Amino acid sequence: MAWDYGRTPKESIEFCNCCGRFKKLLDQPQDVQYDRYGHPVTVWTCPSCGLIYLSPRMTAAASTEFYATGAYRDLILAHTGETSAMRQAAQWAYAESLFERLAPHLAERVRVLDVGGSNGLVLKRFRDDRVDRGIGQWFYGELLDPAVDEILSEGGTGHANTTTAGTIEEARLDLRPNDFDLVLCCQTVDHFTDIAEAIRLMAVTLRPSGHLWIDWVDCTGFYEVKIDHPFYLTSATMHRYVDAEFTTVVEGHWDGYHGGLLLERKADL
């Protein structure tokens, strides 16, 4: 379906989501006028912490609808020319690579929440490993993603023990504290409308010493403005978001433009 960005409900951002600084009258927007799809946007940089963000941007409710209706996927595929099969192959390669990276840090018996987990291929990779070794019952995977059709049509429900259609900001009442051993946030954080709140919720639902994997498009390596990315992150701003609740286990850059952190939840939040 076509997405009418002009008529989409939007909101202005008055406080920096990363450091909390109030946007002042003297602040100047960057000179970016259209995103990669041709939508008019205004981009700001926080003078205190360096966070880059859109303002105005879609409201949280509009953003959820954007993903839930499939408009996001249609926009991406129309822009990149990628077929569904190509995307599937790329996601499987990603899942394979991430599994290799995280496996040494995880116990055999593991409860995993994949936030923005799309069609569940990352969960499938972890599950397959344990099923192949006869310990499939030691794996529990939960999938949270707003794109209902994507989850249903590509087998996501089959890869997860529990599937919830929604965003982490909306699902907060269903999250249990100290529950998961691993939370995955795979190339999803740039899409959140409130990163600070999402990080807090992911920390709360992890058990002490549980792990969070989070990766993002690092805008020092690749910078392309688009309406579905309210925020543009660097290693510095990402650390500022997570350092109060997590310690860093692994810091990595995979492919020239994604930054990634494997983090361990501090015992006392």
The encoded tokens of residue 73 equal 């996927």
CA–CA distances in Å: residue 197 to residues 37, 225, 247: 28, 23, 18
Quick one: 258 exposed, middle or buried, by C-beta within 10 A (0-12, 13-18, 19+)?
Answer: middle
Residue 42 phi/psi, 5-degree rounding, is -125, 130
Q: Does 238 bind Zn ion (CB under 5 A)?
A: no
Which of the residues 24 through 53 are near Zn ion (CB under 5 A)?
A: 46, 48-49, 51
Q: Binding residue for Zn ion (CB under 5 A) from 13, 19, 62, 171?
A: 19
For the bound state, the minimum distance from the C-beta of residue 46 to Zn ion, rounded and expressed in Å, comes to: 3
- How many binding residues for Zn ion (CB under 5 A)? 8
* Per-residue binding letters, 46-85, with Zn ion (x by CB under 5 A): x-xx-x----------------------------------
Q: Which is nearer to Zn ion, 27 or 82 (CB)?
A: 27
For the bound state, the minimum distance from the C-beta of residue 241 to Zn ion, rounded and expressed in Å, comes to: 10
Radius of gyration of the CA atoms of the chain, in A: 18
For the bound state, the minimum distance from the C-beta of residue 259 to Zn ion, rounded and expressed in Å, comes to: 18
For the bound state, the minimum distance from the C-beta of residue 135 to Zn ion, rounded and expressed in Å, comes to: 45
Residue 247 falls in which region: left (phi positive, over 0), alpha (psi -120 to 50) or beta: beta
Q: Which residues are 106's β-sheet partners?
A: none
Q: Does 102 bind Zn ion (CB under 5 A)?
A: no
How far apart CA 233 and CA 50 sit, in angstroms, is: 9
Q: Which is nearer to Zn ion, 139 or 241 (CB)?
A: 241
Specify the amino acid at residue 34. Answer: Y
How far apart CA 250 and CA 262 sit, in angstroms, is: 5
For the bound state, the minimum distance from the C-beta of residue 196 to Zn ion, rounded and expressed in Å, comes to: 11
For the bound state, the minimum distance from the C-beta of residue 234 to Zn ion, rounded and expressed in Å, comes to: 12
Q: Binding residue for Zn ion (CB under 5 A) from 8, 16, 259, 262?
A: 16
Quick one: 123 exposed, middle or buried, by C-beta within 10 A (0-12, 13-18, 19+)?
Answer: buried
Separation of CA 227 from chain center: 15
Q: Does 18 bind Zn ion (CB under 5 A)?
A: yes
Which parts of this chain interact with Zn ion (CB under 5 A)?
A: 16, 18-19, 21, 46, 48-49, 51
